[in-house]
Amino acid sequence: MGNIFTSSIGKKIIMSISGLFLILFLLIHLLANSAYLFGHEAFDTIIGIMSSPVVVVMVPVLAAGFAIHIIYATLLTLSNLKARGSVKYEVSNKTQTDSWAAKNMYILGTIVLGFLAFHLTHFWANMQLPEFIGNHAENGNVLMEQTFSSIWILICYIVWFIALWYHLTHGFWSAFHTLGANNIKWISRLKVVSYVYATFIALGFSSIAIFAYLTSNGII
């Protein structure tokens, strides 16, 4: 059992599985947040659903998924730096080194993580956390308007979504490759799906942020 968690291939598999878990979460989170585009009442309804006990129980699971992914990404990166020197991200063949994102996955992941912490201070710390400790949560619609009323905050979020896009374009197909989908035909297909998925996620979140900015500033 120990070898599964400490061997190079074991670390890759764990990182891939946790990565796919987080990729699924991103889609669910985007679909939930898109309710904001349909008005305050729709967004309040989704917030109510997200505050249900079933969803709250999933928060520690989600946090564990992030922690596992970050830990194993760090372990792999450190191992690769030690073994290969100038190579920052371990790959199993030349097909995985054909993009800038593939060579800078850990840097991109660090940027995504940093902005995630930034994001949590805006919403989770003012909504889910107060409810968890028995206090009153702030209104989600008000938080959206307060947060995205600043053009600088909007720009920061757009930068985050761009970094996320790059991370996903490689991470999505690479995870499946690690788990056995390494046929040349499937790699090509998975790369296309990766770009489509990453673009959908990045543009989706960006649209919500831009809509919030325009709304909070009375532009629309």
pLDDT tens sequence across 45-67 = 988 887 777 777 777 888 888 88
pLDDT tens sequence across 132-183 = 777 788 888 999 999 999 999 999 999 999 999 999 998 888 888 888 877 7
**pLDDT at residue 112, rounded to an integer:** 86
**Is the model's pTM score more than 0.85?**
no
Number of domains into which the chain is organized = 1
**pLDDT at residue 66, rounded to an integer:** 81
CATH number of the domain that residue 187 is part of? 1.20.1300.10
User: Which residue intervals of the chain are DSSP H helices?
Assistant: 2-6, 8-33, 40-50, 53-84, 100-103, 105-122, 128-132, 140-147, 151-178, 184-216
pLDDT tens sequence across 73-127 = 888 777 766 766 544 444 444 444 457 777 777 788 888 888 888 888 888 888 8
Looking at residues 4-16, what average pLDDT do you find?
75
Domain coverage including residue 130: 2-216
